[in-house]
Amino acid sequence: MNYHWNWSIFGELSPDGVQTYGQTLLSGLGWTLSASLLGWVMALALGMLVGVLRTVPHPWVRRLGTAYVEIFRNVPLLVQMFLWYFVMPELLPQATGDWLKTLPNAPFLTAVVCLGFFTSARVAVQVTAGIDALSGGQRLAGMALGLSRTQTYRYILLPLALRIVLPPLTSEFLNIIKNSSVALTIGLMELTASARAIQEFSFQVFEAFSAATLIYVVVNIGVTAAMHWLERRVALPGSIQAGGAR
């Protein structure tokens, strides 16, 4: 390898004349975290709603939920980013489209919406699976106690189902952080985009991507640890829980 290593690159001033390359990476991390966290909140809310809809007794509501899941799950994330950013504004009335295009931070907002919808479909499937995993007696017992359907979901089914699907939800959380890198295609200067910019300006490609890789790993290990803590924290003795079969 004929490569000139230079790890001190992160201390050097980047071409914008204000930040060092290290700060460029950190601001990229900031965008990555804010896009994925906001997207995650949206995905959890929508995902739970759609997941529940797919378990109610009305067949048409269930089909609607399934259609939602299939649309957002079966189209590649990259394509969805493109559709939201470039195609959707053209389909709206001219004035609305123009307003949307000139929004400040349009790439960021688009990325949050896109990641939110994409991930919500996956969360919905898991929530459905969690509810289906409960024995039918839970629902019937709730009804027998005089709870309304909403109350049955709110107090009986969802609390149990969500505990069951916490481990796959951890994976989805990690996925949304990694998936946020796709937002670089619509111009969001998140972590991967920052690493790319550093390599373009300085040609120190290995340093830039090593640092970005390390940051992703550290962030994701942190998320995994936090979710493990949450799992232990909310575990109900006697119900299905992580490590129960070991």
Candidates 53, 172, 196, 212: give the one binding another protein (CB under 8 A): 196
Question: Dihedral through CA 53, CA 182, CA 31, CA 190, nearest 10?
Answer: 170
**Which one of 76, 132, 200, 229 is in contact with another protein (CB under 8 A)?**
200
Using rule CB under 8 A, residue 246 touches another protein: no
Q: Which residue has the tokens 């799950």?
A: 73
Q: Of 28, 39, 107, 116, which lies in the binding site for another protein, with binding defined by CB under 8 A?
A: 107
52 or 189: whose CB is closer to another protein? 189
Of 39, 89, 116, 130, the one binding another protein by CB under 8 A: 89
Sign of the Cα torsion 211, 213, 216, 220 reads negative
Judged by CB under 8 A, the residue of 199, 220, 224, 241 near another protein is 199
Secondary structure class of 176 (helix, strand, coil): helix
Q: By C-alpha distance, which of 190, 167, 38, 47 is closest to 119? A: 47
Please list the residues that pair with 20 across neighbouring strands: 13
Q: How far is CA 143 from CA 48, 70, 147, 162, 230, in A?
A: 21, 31, 5, 20, 29
Q: Which amino acid is residue 192, in one-letter code? A: T
Q: Is 48 helix (H, G, I), strand (E, B) or coil?
A: helix
According to the binding rule CB under 8 A, does residue 186 interact with another protein?
A: yes
Q: Is 246 exposed, middle or buried (0-12, 13-18, 19+ CB in 10 A)?
A: exposed
Among 60, 95, 102, 244, binds another protein (CB under 8 A): 102
From 40-48, 82-90, 220-228, 231-239, span contacting another protein (CB under 8 A):
82-90
Given 23, 27, 66, 202, the residue binding another protein (CB under 8 A): 202
> For another protein, which stretch binds (CB under 8 A), given 38-46, 101-109, 111-119, 169-177?
101-109
**DSSP-assigned beta bridge partners for residue 13:** 20
Under the binding rule (CB under 8 A), the answer on residue 150 touching another protein is no
Binding another protein by CB under 8 A: which of 92, 203, 232, 239? Answer: 203
Q: Which stretch binds another protein (CB under 8 A): 21-29, 53-61, 193-201, 211-219?
A: 193-201
Judged by beta carbon, residue 2 or residue 74, the one nearer another protein is 2
C-alpha separations of 26 from 50, 102, 119, 178, 199 in Å: 35, 26, 25, 16, 15
98 touches another protein (CB under 8 A): yes
Q: Which H helix or E strand runs over 237?
A: none
197 binds another protein (CB under 8 A): yes
Residues 201, 220, 224, 228: which binds another protein (CB under 8 A)? 201
Evaluate whether 110 touches 32 at the Cβ level (below 8 Å): no
**Residues binding another protein (CB under 8 A):** 1-4, 6, 15-18, 86, 89-90, 98, 101-102, 104, 106-107, 184-187, 189, 193, 196-197, 199-206
